[in-house]
């Protein structure tokens, strides 16, 4: 399927970089709906193709396939991020991954419920959140939540997914990135005129002393 094609392409493109670690973040509305009634966390009906149980089973298989691809290159860490469409289904999926990879020393699973996750490496600090709650506060949260890591870092980025299209702002020493999505527009987005955005995935290759060196898409 398209997801496996994308993952295969990413693995092919980064295979010669000498990657030391991979962060695989999937929770940005990955399942789109949150229950068998095909609604979001707040009860908004959304368009889906198939039954929720089938979607969940296929989704977990896609995730394990992706991680199996990636761990051939480097140790992989995947994290849970609360999202506004599928917080529960994504949490069930991350717990499935936690159990599936419990004896795999090359795969780490962070199922913690903290709304934002931070990872520091070298001179870099990466923050991750879905992005539906922070609003204009996004650029100022990192230095408040992890001030010690913030002070040590030269390159600081917060990666968000809520908007499903690319937005990049450099604000107060923090690059805030809303990441694009490869998912096609559903019926609601089409009727509402939310069309025309580039459908793509972005993979960031970091150098621990230079920050983001390459963006593969």
Give kind and range of the element (H or E) at residue 22: strand 22-24
Judged by DSSP in three states, 25 sits in coil
Question: Using one digit for the tens of pLDDT, what is the confidence trace for 129-159?
Answer: 988 888 888 889 999 999 999 999 999 999 9
By the 8 A CB rule, do 52 and 35 touch?
yes
Distance from C-alpha of 214 to C-alpha of 217, rounded to nearest angstrom: 10
> Which residue is associated with the tokens 């295979």?
15
Q: pTM to 2 decimals?
A: 0.87
Question: 59 in the Ramachandran plot: left (φ > 0), alpha (ψ -120 to 50) or beta?
Answer: alpha
Average pLDDT over residues 23-44: 81
Q: pLDDT by residue (tens digit) across 75-97?
A: 999 999 988 778 889 999 999 99
Give the Cα separation of 167 and 151 in Å (integer).
Answer: 25
């Amino acid at each position: 399927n398209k997801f496996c094609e994308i993952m295969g392409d990413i693995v092919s493109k980064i295979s010669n970089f000498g990657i030391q670690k991979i962060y695989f973040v999937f929770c940005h509305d990955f399942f789109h709906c949150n229950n068998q009634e095909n609604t979001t966390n707040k009860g908004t009906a959304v368009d889906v193709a198939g039954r929720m149980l089938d979607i969940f089973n296929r989704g977990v298989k896609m995730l394990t396939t992706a991680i199996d691809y990636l761990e051939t290159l480097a140790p992989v860490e995947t994290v849970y991020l609360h999202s506004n469409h599928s917080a529960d289904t994504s949490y069930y999926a991350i717990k499935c991954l936690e159990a599936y990879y419990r004896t795999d020393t090359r795969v780490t699973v962070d199922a913690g419920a903290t709304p934002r996750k931070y990872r520091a490496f070298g001179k870099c600090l990466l923050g991750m959140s879905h992005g539906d709650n922070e609003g204009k506060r996004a650029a100022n949260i990192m230095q408040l939540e992890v001030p010690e890591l913030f002070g040590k870092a030269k390159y600081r980025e917060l990666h968000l997914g809520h908007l499903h299209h690319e937005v990049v702002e450099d604000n107060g020493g923090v690059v805030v990135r809303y990441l694009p999505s490869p998912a096609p527009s559903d019926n609601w987005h089409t009727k509402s005129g939310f069309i025309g955005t580039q459908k793509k995935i972005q993979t960031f290759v970091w150098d621990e002393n230079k920050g983001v060196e390459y963006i593969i898409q």
